[in-house]
């Protein structure tokens, strides 16, 4: 993660802070839940530290207002909660595994 004096974070930096995947951070930005800016010709996203802190504060407030007894599983976007696809397909994994007998 870059020094804390840096104004902007990459999606990967935000994912590390929130302990989620980059794909989940991208979904938060695209939905408007987390404000970011798109820079450069390749469409790279950056998130300001203040925006990330605001998002975290909103999530705490939301959790406090709902309380643990009022959580509804239907509220969650299960696509966002699903893990990233594996980096290797099973054939690649099988090929790389060797067993010494």
| pLDDT over 90 at 60, yes or no | yes
Q: Any idea which architecture 8-96 has in CATH?
A: Orthogonal Bundle (1.10)
Highest mean pLDDT (candidates 2-6, 42-46, 89-93): 42-46
Residues for the chain: how many in total? 101
**pLDDT-derived band at 53, boundaries 50, 70, 90:** very high
Under 8 Å between Cβ of 52 and 15: no
Q: What is the pLDDT of residue 100?
A: 47
For 10-31, how does the pLDDT look when each residue is reduced to its tens digit (9 = 90+)?
Answer: 999 999 999 999 999 999 999 9
**Per the structure block, which two tokens stand in for 101?**
């007998």
Indicate if the alpha-carbon torsion angle 13, 18, 21, 27 is positive or negative: negative
Q: Could you tell me the residue ranges of all domains in the chain?
A: 8-96
Under 8 Å between Cβ of 18 and 29: no
């Amino acid at each position: 993660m870059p020094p804390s004096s840096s104004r902007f974070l990459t999606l990967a930096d935000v994912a590390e802070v929130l302990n989620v995947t980059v794909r989940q951070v991208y979904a938060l930005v695209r939905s408007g839940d987390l404000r970011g800016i798109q820079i450069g010709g390749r469409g790279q996203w950056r998130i300001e530290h203040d925006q990330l802190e605001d998002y975290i504060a909103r999530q705490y407030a939301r959790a406090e207002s709902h309380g643990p007894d009022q959580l509804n599983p239907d509220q969650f976007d299960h696509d966002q909660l699903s893990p990233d696809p594996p980096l290797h397909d099973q054939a690649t994994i099988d090929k790389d595994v060797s067993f010494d007998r």
